[in-house]
Structure 1
Amino acid sequence: MNLARPKTPTKAQRTAIAALMAAAGLVTAAAATPLLPATAAPVSHSSKGCGVATAQAPGTGADYELVSGGLTRTYRLHLPPQYDKKKASQLIVVYHGRGKTGAFTEAFSDLSKLNAIVAYPNGVVGDEDKQAWQGAPYAAKGVDDVKFTNDLLDSLEASYCVDTDAVYATGKSNGAGFTGILACRLADRFAAIAPVSGAFYIEGTRCAPSRPVPVLDIHGTGDTTIPYGGDGERDLPSVQTWVRDWSVRDHCSPEPKVTQQGDDVLTFTYKGCRADVVHVAVTDGGHSWPGSDSSSGPGYVTQTFEAHELIGAFFTAHKMRH
């Protein structure tokens, strides 16, 4: 069961979240409108794997291995029921949280319900014998997950019919944080990212993407695992700071438009961007996946929207621009 919360936020709760947003330099004019802007999608570009026969049946999942950087890596792959080897499909790569697995993330996220090829790679065991991703202080030392991601994309695009202009990254917690690194370093391969409850550790390296990258960020204001306001002792910036940095990289206007959905969701949409930046703040939301059950993480889980549906819509609206 989800943790209980008031049906309608109290005046104090609304004041608190408004203060958080104001402190981040965000406007607070709310209105009931859709979460995402509409964006026209360009035509598709097919990968080398189009026309290649595969033993995996459409609508099924299977586990695979891939050697990268001298390590045998693993991932789970789900093909949509509509998969056609002659028609280019979206490819979504999903990164699990620390100590979790791709299969576990598939189970609660519902991302395999989308009409896309969905890959769920597994991280390498790091500190405390927990699988994690590059960029976090507890990740396995010397493991290059950016290279692994490049190798994984090469393999999938050679074996399946992928729209190379519609390759995306999402994930939760440590995995969500890693999508931020991918946007910085592999902007030529990922059309957009959508981190949920992201742990955006400060690496000390400059983020300089080769192109503006669309970003959809989802985070609960009541997250106690990765605090919304950041954690200086762990080198975690506030979520607002991380989002605002992307709005600068993507050349957006400084003040976003703020809209409200239901009684617990505020959406901050930056305008005038070269690539869209959208932040969804769940009032009192925990370290959880919106629309799921309590298995996705501790704290309140909003049912106002389904994260996989919102992410799917954002990805579909944002193909690679040339």
Structure 2
Amino acid sequence: MSASVRAILTGTLLLTTFAFASKPNSFSAVDTSGCGLTHAAGYHDADDTNSLQSGGLTRKYGIYVPQSYNDNPNKPRKLILDYHGNNGTPLYQYNNTRYFDYPNGEEYLTQLASTSPGRARQGVDDLQFTTDLLAHLRQTYCIDSNHVYASGKSNGGGFVDFLACSKNGDEFAAFGMASAALYSDNGVEQCNNTRPRAILEAHGMNDTTISYYGGPRNGAMLPDIQTWIGWWAQRDGCKANCADCMEVQQRSGYEVISYSCGGLKDVVQHYDVFDLGHCWPSTTGDNSDSARSYCGDRSLDYTSVVLDSFSRRSLQSTSGQWQEWSI
């Protein structure tokens, strides 16, 4: 099984702060050698040009360069790494999330690269690949390291969860998933993250591929989605079963479950879409998934939700202290 990554670049807003007093300034010596280089605008599919060596393998990626990129190639750009699902391709995911369709999406450079799903493949280290990919992108493009994000669907969403659970996730300001295949997440204590993570997920309650209610699949036991959301709330500092930490908002066709704690507003958010199958939710019906019969629900425009959430999250280092949350 494979998943794919896509990246987006831009620069934008940041609002507030959560400080980790003893954390070193990891971005003080970040590579900016890609600044000043120009690139053809538009989408470029995964090929030998868009490739790097990682773990003894040649890994390829697709990339979307905003139309305005060459207007100022020294301007640090936000980046989204976007991971596709099982049997998917970078191009499929590019046309699935469709970040380029949104005005604020044009602020980002979007990267799509081949990675494994939420389950590891033998001999393939996709966490290291993601770290190597970021280093490669910084040598090739002008990246704003305070604004790097990960998103993905299905197995790609499961990998985003796996990334958030690891120290390799420290370079990311927020994580967004849809229909996440959570093969690697089996309990609140399982993660190795040392700092809170901003987690966003959408899931169809009619998903028959990765059931909303969990259960056995492919030799693994998938968690119930609302239970998993509660695990992330605890990982981010909420007390278990904390009623005053959680807010539920009813919308037409879906509901939003949000956790806020430790001064972090909506640090974990989940959208459950009542009549949706195994899909990236779309109101317009023009994304890749919309051709599938079980993706006809049009109640949620999830790409705009992801971009709005990302715009409120930042990793910013000031005087050796970490500031992580734009709330």
Q: Please state which band the TM-score falls in when normalised by the shorter chain.
A: 0.7 to 0.9
Q: Distance in 1 between matches of 2:97 and 2:58?
A: 26
Residue 304 of structure 1 aligns to a residue whose secondary structure is coil
- Higher normalized strand content (fraction of residues): 2
Equivalent residues of 2:162, 2:184 under 8 A apart? no
Residue 117 of structure 1 aligns to a residue whose secondary structure is strand
Question: What residue is the counterpart of 2:37 in the other structure?
Answer: 53
Question: What residue is the counterpart of 2:235 in the other structure?
Answer: 249
User: 1:258 is matched by which residue type in structure 2?
Assistant: V
Give the Å deviation of 1:251: 1.1
Equivalent residues of 1:231, 1:238 under 8 A apart? yes
Give the Å deviation of 1:65: 1.1
Q: Distance in 2 between matches of 1:213 and 1:184?
A: 9
Per the normalisation by structure 2, the TM-score is 0.76
Question: What residue is the counterpart of 2:300 in the other structure?
Answer: 305
Q: Distance in 2 between matches of 1:258 and 1:49?
A: 45
Aligned mate of 2:174, from 182, 192, 215: 192
| Residues 108 and 286 (structure 1), Cα distance of their counterparts in 2 relative to 1, 3 Å cut | same
Give the Å deviation of 1:294: 7.5
Give the Å deviation of 1:39: 7.5
Equivalent residues of 1:187, 1:211 under 8 A apart? no
Paired positions, count: 271
| Residues 199 and 99 (structure 1), Cα distance of their counterparts in 2 relative to 1, 3 Å cut | same
User: 2:214 is matched by which residue type in structure 1?
Assistant: G
Give the Å deviation of 1:165: 1.1
Per the normalisation by structure 1, the TM-score is 0.77
Q: Distance in 1 between matches of 2:309 and 2:255?
A: 16
Give the Å deviation of 1:293: 4.7
Question: What residue is the counterpart of 2:82 in the other structure?
Answer: 94
* Unmatched runs of 5 consecutive residues or more in structure 2: 1-12, 18-26, 317-321, 323-327
Question: What residue is the counterpart of 2:164 in the other structure?
Answer: 183
| Residues 202 and 181 (structure 1), Cα distance of their counterparts in 2 relative to 1, 3 Å cut | closer
Question: What residue is the counterpart of 1:151 in the other structure?
Answer: 132
Q: CA RMSD in A?
A: 2.4
Residues 73-92 of structure 1: pairs in structure 2 closer than 5 A: 73-83=59-69, 84-92=72-80
Q: Distance in 2 between matches of 1:59 and 1:103?
A: 12
Q: Distance in 2 between matches of 1:70 and 1:176?
A: 25
Give the Å deviation of 1:274: 5.4
Q: Distance in 1 between matches of 2:206 and 2:57?
A: 38
Give the Å deviation of 1:308: 1.4
Question: What residue is the counterpart of 1:258 in the other structure?
Answer: 248
Residue 93 of structure 1 aligns to a residue whose secondary structure is strand
| 1:285 pairs with 2:276 | yes
Give the Å deviation of 1:298: 5.3
Calculate percent identity across the aligned residue pairs: 33
| 1:219 pairs with 2:203 | yes
Residue 121 of structure 1 aligns to a residue whose secondary structure is strand
Q: Distance in 2 between matches of 1:85 and 1:274?
A: 36
